[in-house]
Amino acid sequence: MLFALLWVAFGAMAQVVWLQWWLIPTRLQLWLPLAAACLPWFLASGIAQQETKSKERFGWWFAQSAILIGGFLLTLNFLPQLGFMFLLLPLFPPLIAVLSLVVALVKEAWIAALASALFFGWILAAGFPLSS
């Protein structure tokens, strides 16, 4: 249910504004493997953020955002054909902030991690040209 809430909240205007929110069948096949690949990250993040104060949660958000953006910048060095990702980099810190807020509100690491991984996997499958 948490995934559905995130999916609808972000996807309500996505079709009109910035991306094809409904996945084509080829991308839909990639969604669950991408979500499974994201699950360890979000589970570790959720466990680390349990019972933390606001300042610590801000530190986790900042560290995750820096690592994610740094990883994408490193990827761009090796795969310059993904140059469009440079335009998307500013979207990741607010997205990670929302997912950190989900962890804070749910207080159950596995539930938050599963919902976050499904949601982030959907974003990856919808937003990046992984398949033709």
Block residue for tokens 């349990």: 50
pLDDT of the residue at 110: 93
| Position 8 in a domain | no
- 70 burial class (0-12, 13-18, 19+ CB within 10 angstroms)? exposed
| Position 16 in a domain | no
| Position 53 in a domain | yes
- Distance between CA atoms of residues 3 and 114, nearest Å: 8
| Position 31 in a domain | yes
| Position 52 in a domain | yes
Query: What range defines the domain where residue 93 resides?
Result: 26-127
| Position 33 in a domain | yes
Number of domains in the chain: 1
With beta carbons less than 8 A apart as the criterion, state whether 113 and 46 touch.
yes
Q: Which amino acid is at 30?
A: L
Block residue for tokens 């986790």: 60
pLDDT of the residue at 14: 65
pLDDT of the residue at 15: 64
DSSP 8-class letter at 84? T
| Position 45 in a domain | yes
pLDDT along the chain (132 residues), means of 10: 75 65 81 94 90 87 91 88 80 88 87 92 77 45
| Position 71 in a domain | yes
Residues 6+ apart with CB under 8 A from 107: 50
